[in-house]
Amino acid sequence: FKEALKACCGTGGLYNFNFSRVCGYPPLRQCCNDPSSYMSWDGIHYTEAVNRLIANVVFEELMNSIHSLNNLCPASTINKLRMIYPKSEM
């Protein structure tokens, strides 16, 4: 990220953030050219790029922690198409 502490959409000060002139309310209607290079959208919320990064890390960790689908669904069987069906429907 190009900017770790500054807000993409904001004005004033070291962090481009001012409680009295928040992003989206008049007269502030401007933001940075490349939001994906910023971590903070408006000084309070993360940008889409940061949210995507966090979601990817969480999903990857979740998938790495699941050793086997059978451990999650011991009463189910996985068919050749890798679809889950309860044993009673097989």
Give domain status of residue 43, yes or no: yes
What global pTM score does this model have?
A: 0.64
Whether 18 has a pLDDT exceeding 70, the answer reads: yes
Please report whether residue 34 resides in a domain. Answer: yes
**Domain housing 39:** 3-84
What are residue 84's phi and psi, to 5 degrees?
-95, 130
* Residue 13 resides in a domain: yes
Asked if residue 90 belongs to a domain, the reply is no
23 within a domain of the structure (yes/no): yes
Mean pLDDT value of segment 48-65: 88
Q: Select, from the ranges 14-18, 23-27, 78-82, the one with the highest average predicted confidence (pLDDT).
A: 14-18
Output the CA torsion sign for 82, 78, 56, 31.
positive
How many domains are there within the chain?
1
